């Protein structure tokens, strides 16, 4: 009977404590380009380039980030969240929210 309780507790899962993730914008890239996150986590992008960049998706937009600027976004849903820089069309990144 004790094993049923263990299985039931495991099926409920554990509560995820929110984490702050860092993404650097450097060399005209998002580093890392793909990141697994969880609902409730916060992602902070830091622009290490001398040029301005954006972090833009269908759900969020940092607007222009100058050199050394930071911008953050709290994850509110599961799924893939692709984003890009509106100034530089070759810059792409993706959050995979679980």
pLDDT higher than threshold 70 for residue 8 = no
CATH topology of domain 17-97: Immunoglobulin-like (2.60.40)
pTM equals 0.84
Dihedral angle over CA of 23, 97, 93, 45, nearest 10: -20
pLDDT tens for 50-71 read 999 999 999 999 999 999 999 9
Give the pLDDT mean for 72-93.
97
Average model confidence (pLDDT) across the chain: 90
Amino acid 15: pLDDT: 77
Q: Where are the domains of the chain?
A: 17-97
pLDDT tens for 15-39 read 789 999 999 999 999 999 999 999 9
Residue 78 CB neighbour total at 10 angstroms: 12
């Amino acid at each position: 009977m004790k094993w049923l309780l263990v299985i039931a507790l495991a099926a409920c899962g554990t509560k995820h404590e929110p984490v702050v993730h860092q993404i650097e914008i450097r060399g005209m890239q998002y580093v890392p380009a793909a990141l697994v996150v969880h609902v409730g986590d916060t992602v902070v992008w830091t622009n290490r380039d001398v040029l301005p960049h954006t972090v833009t998706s269908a759900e969020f937009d940092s607007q222009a980030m100058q050199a050394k600027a930071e911008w953050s976004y709290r994850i509110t849903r599961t799924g893939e969240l692709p984003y890009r820089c509106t100034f530089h069309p070759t810059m792409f990144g993706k959050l995979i929210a679980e």
